[in-house]
Amino acid sequence: MGTMYIVFIISAIIILVVIAVSAMVTTKAYQYKHTIDPIDNNPHIIEEASSDDK
């Protein structure tokens, strides 16, 4: 009976650690400032437009 409680406690600790790490990673991801390149400075737009002309 004692082994079952030890396994339960270890499992609960692992679950709490996973939830805490997930919360920290999600918070850090939301703090990241995403930026978008202006269309004028994007070389892929120019390449796609020139390939459409062919």
Task: Say how many domains are in the chain.
Answer: 1
Q: What is the predicted pLDDT for the residue at 46?
A: 54
- Domain range for 22 is 1-28
Residue 42 lies in a domain: no
Residue 14 lies in a domain: yes
- Convert the pLDDT of each residue in 2-53 to its tens digit: 899 999 999 999 999 999 999 999 999 888 777 776 667 666 765 544 555 5
Q: What is the predicted pLDDT for the residue at 35?
A: 76
Residue 35 lies in a domain: no
Asked whether the beta carbons of 11 and 19 are under 8 A apart, the reply is: no
Residue 10 lies in a domain: yes
Q: What is the predicted pLDDT for the residue at 27?
A: 92
Q: What is the predicted pLDDT for the residue at 47?
A: 54
Q: What is the predicted pLDDT for the residue at 34?
A: 72
Label each residue of 1-54 as H, E or C: CHHHHHHHHHHHHHHHHHHHHHHHHHHHHHHCCCCCCCHHHCHHHHHHHHHHHC
